[in-house]
Amino acid sequence: MTMTSKFNIFLILFSVCFLVFSIVGFAAITDTKSFVITGTVPAVCNLSINTQGSSTNNGYNISDLTSSLPQTTIANVTENCNNSNGYTVSLTSANTGTFHGQLKDPTSQNTLDYTIYYNGSPISSTNITTSNSAANISKNLGISYNTVSSLTPSTGYTDTLNFTISTN
């Protein structure tokens, strides 16, 4: 073997080694990282109540309880909920703890029962509506009552209706 052939073999081996080490070397410095981006859309449910007619700051005023009141709209309730499983609206009277309305005079303890209407129908349970997710559904809130002669004069007959909207 001549010197030139030995040199050519050396160059070929050197080139192969250089190529192998270059490929291995580049593979060794390769690095891959993952970065995950996540997001959420929270369930948002809310109610708004707008009084009608003889309204006060956040309620309704009946000027004369001695006359019976036929079904009368006293407010509009707007339901809003983005939960895909839907929502439930419930209502309770502060005086009775149920869906039965009762105006009460704190001094004399006299009471006047009344019927609560939601979206035109008398309510018959605490859960007054269950729905799929909805945006800005407006429903009427109404009351009616038959007067009773035993009511004593007072400006303090009151009841508070508590509404709750919750996700299903």
**What pLDDT score was predicted for residue 30?**
82
Q: What is the pLDDT of residues 73-126, one digit of tens each?
A: 999 999 999 988 889 999 999 999 888 899 999 998 999 999 999 999 999 888
Which CA distances in Å does 124 have to 21, 30, 56, 88, 117?
83, 69, 27, 15, 9
The residues spanned by each domain of the chain are: 45-167
The proportion of the chain whose per-residue pLDDT surpasses 90, expressed as a percent, equals 45
- The residue with greater pLDDT, 59 or 158, is 158
**What pLDDT score was predicted for residue 64?**
84
Among residues 129, 103, 105, 106, the alpha carbon closest in space to that of 114 is found at: 103
Name the class of domain 45-167.
Answer: mainly beta
Supply the DSSP string of 140-154, one letter for each residue. EEEEEE---TTPPP-
| Cβ partners under 8 Å of residue 124, min gap 6 | 99
Mean pLDDT of 28-32: 80
Mean pLDDT of 7-26: 60
pTM over 0.75: no
**What pLDDT score was predicted for residue 22?**
59
pLDDT of 24 over the 60 cut = no
Question: For all residues of the chain together, what is the average pLDDT?
Answer: 83
Q: What is the pLDDT of residues 119-161, one digit of tens each?
A: 999 998 888 877 776 778 899 999 999 987 788 888 789 999 9
Mean pLDDT of 8-13: 64
